[in-house]
Chains A and B, each alone.
Chain A
């Protein structure tokens, strides 16, 4: 039944403006990332490995992701869940044998795929634009993929949190408010030490995932705590499963 429920979630996305929201997330990140291309001295650095032009672009993208994703993920989750509150969808599903928790998990599977696709598209498009802008130095495949995987994990955990929040409270302003606060939390995370940022999940993990830093000497590569990001993914998944199981016990 869960497979059919996931298929239904894709069908429900019709006319919900899911694609425009996901596209806005992608375009927003790509547009903000491209600021790096307009930075003074960047056009001259595209051929110089010492200037690390790809790392500039990657750092720019990481900053754009933490600025754009929290709010748009909140909007996406809210749109998916609000239709159940307004249309009596919880009861319809329950009387069809699909528990509210299972419905939430089906939503996560379907909309999560959109989130993953949008995140991969952002990463791919920024890389493509870097290439088109004339960067000729070797592309840092491992670093780029490492960051992309981290962004996917953090985005999915944050999306799961917003789905839970939207399902828990019918007033969708709560989730959207949390999304706006999330931007502040994510930005604040960049100014915190790694240790402190660990205690601000999931928003602080956007900052933890940033693979570069700008120092006096220029842009330097960092060694992001991938293990911590993976732990966030596992813990977030377990918590989401637990929280949605609790929904099954809730009386309507």
Chain B
């Protein structure tokens, strides 16, 4: 659905995005993750042709996104960038009517979009009286009204309470189920971890990882934990593998299978009792922290 090649944006001598090769498959929920200031919003704006790339090219639905194709492609793309757009002095219904008229849509589409975000009972309230969650849902309804093939959402859960976040998660899953490709950014992995089928992790404007959740977990080698009644002695004997004590166990970071076998053989040779050897359980957040240098979570 989206491919970019060597995409980059520079402001003066400050590089915001560099050498970005995005691959967003059709029909997926693409979780675009990265700490604040990592270049997610700039990338999304470049995808929507709101910001001109300094380098590289963008293809959406197989066509280059540029000035000449922009309007036609935007007809198939729904977007919510930064804050949810709305005219506060108007009601939700009047806001939806503006979108309907501007895009020349039929009534059915806006009605379906409003129902999808479950806002139909609040349409006659002025937007200034909406909660943040309702404004977010209205913004998404405005983006959905054109029944887009691609939906680009920039931090749609910002400022929402846990119930609102869960609601957005359910909505994204539902949209993907209906065949819409969704690209959603967040600086909080936990918000889209369970919804996204493909993840892209950005750090300081560069793509650190792109792939599935399992691929992401496989990229990192969890620590080895050795249970022994003599942790002090075992730690001293395995110091060359950077071992250190972790409570009653000995922790060895970055060991592969061969290395693990070598350590165990060494301990047994030195007559240290080994009661158990296991890999530490590692969460996706640990991997994310590892990739982004501990920023953003």
Instruction: Provide the bound-state CA to CA distance between A95 and B78, in Å.
Output: 8
Instruction: Decide: A95 near B50, CB < 8 A? Known: A5-B102, A83-B89, A88-B84.
Output: yes
Q: Is the C-beta of B71 less than 8 angstroms from some C-beta in chain A?
A: yes
Cβ of A20: which chain B residues have Cβ within 8 Å of it?
Answer: none
Nearest Cβ on chain B to A20's Cβ, whole angstroms = 14
Query: Is there an interface contact between A92 and B85, defined as CB atoms closer than 8 Å?
Result: yes
A86: nearest residue on chain B (CB-CB)? B88
The distance from the CB of A246 to the nearest CB of chain B, in whole angstroms, is 14
- Our pick among B74, B81, B101 for the contact of A4 (Cβ within 8 Å) is B101
Query: Which residues of the partner chain A approach B166 to less than 8 Å between Cβ atoms?
Result: none
Within the complex, the shortest CB–CB distance from A163 to chain B, in Å, comes to 17
* Residues of A close to B102: CB separation below 8 A: 1, 4-5, 8, 93, 96, 98
Among candidates A1, A15, A88, A92, residue contacting B90 with C-beta atoms closer than 8 Å: A15
Within residues 70 to 91 of chain A, which ones have a CB less than 8 A from any CB in chain B?
A: 83, 86-89, 91
In the bound assembly, the distance between CA atoms of A122 and B259 in angstroms comes to 91
- Complex alpha-carbon distance, A5 and B97, angstroms: 12
Judge whether A96 and B81 touch: CB under 8 Å: no
Q: Mark B83-120, 1 if CB is under 8 A from A, else 0.
A: 11111111000100111011110000000000000000
Q: Is the CB of A97 within 8 A of B45?
A: no
Tell me which of B50, B70, B85 has the highest count of chain A C-beta atoms within 10 A of its own C-beta.
B85
Name the B residues within 8 Å of A83 (CB-CB): 87-89
Chain A residues within an 8 Å CB radius of B81: 91, 95
Of B88, B97, B101, B142, which is within 8 A of A92 by CB? B142
Question: What residue in chain A is nearest B46 (Cβ atoms)?
Answer: A251
A93–chain B nearest beta-carbon distance, Å = 7
B268 at the interface (CB under 8 A from A): no
B270 within 8 A of A: no
Residue of A nearest to B78 (CB): A95
Instruction: Give chain A residues whose Cβ lies under 8 Å from the Cβ of B74.
Output: 95-97
Is B51 in the interface zone, CB < 8 Å from A? yes
A94: Cβ under 8 A from any B Cβ: yes
A93 to B77, CA, bound (A): 13
Q: How far is the CB of A42 from chain B (nearest CB, A)?
A: 44
A16 beta carbon closer than 8 Å to chain B = yes
Shortest C-beta distance, B96 to chain A (Å), equals 11
Contacts known (A4-B102, A93-B102); A252 close to B50, Cβ less than 8 A: yes
* Residues on A with beta carbons closer than 8 Å to the beta carbon of B50: 91, 94-95, 251-252
Q: Which one of B45, B51, B70, B83 lies within 8 Å of A88 (CB-CB)?
A: B83
Scoring B45, B81, B89 by chain A CB atoms within 10 A of each residue's CB, the highest score goes to B89
Asked if B52 is at the interface of the complex by the 8 Å CB criterion, the answer is yes
Q: Which of B37-93 contact A (CB under 8 A)?
A: 45, 48, 50-52, 70-71, 74-75, 77-79, 81-90
6 residue pairs of the A-B complex, CB under 8 angstroms, read A12-B98, A14-B89, A87-B87, A94-B48, A95-B143, A252-B45
Instruction: With A91-B85, A97-B74, A251-B51 given, name 9 new contacts (CB 8 A).
Output: A14-B90, A14-B94, A83-B87, A87-B85, A88-B84, A91-B82, A95-B77, A96-B103, A252-B51
Query: Residues of B with Cβ closer than 8 Å to A?
Result: 45, 48, 50-52, 70-71, 74-75, 77-79, 81-90, 94, 97-99, 101-104, 142-143
Question: Which 6 A-B residue pairs are closest in the complex by CB-CB distance?
Answer: A88-B85, A92-B85, A97-B71, A95-B79, A15-B89, A251-B51
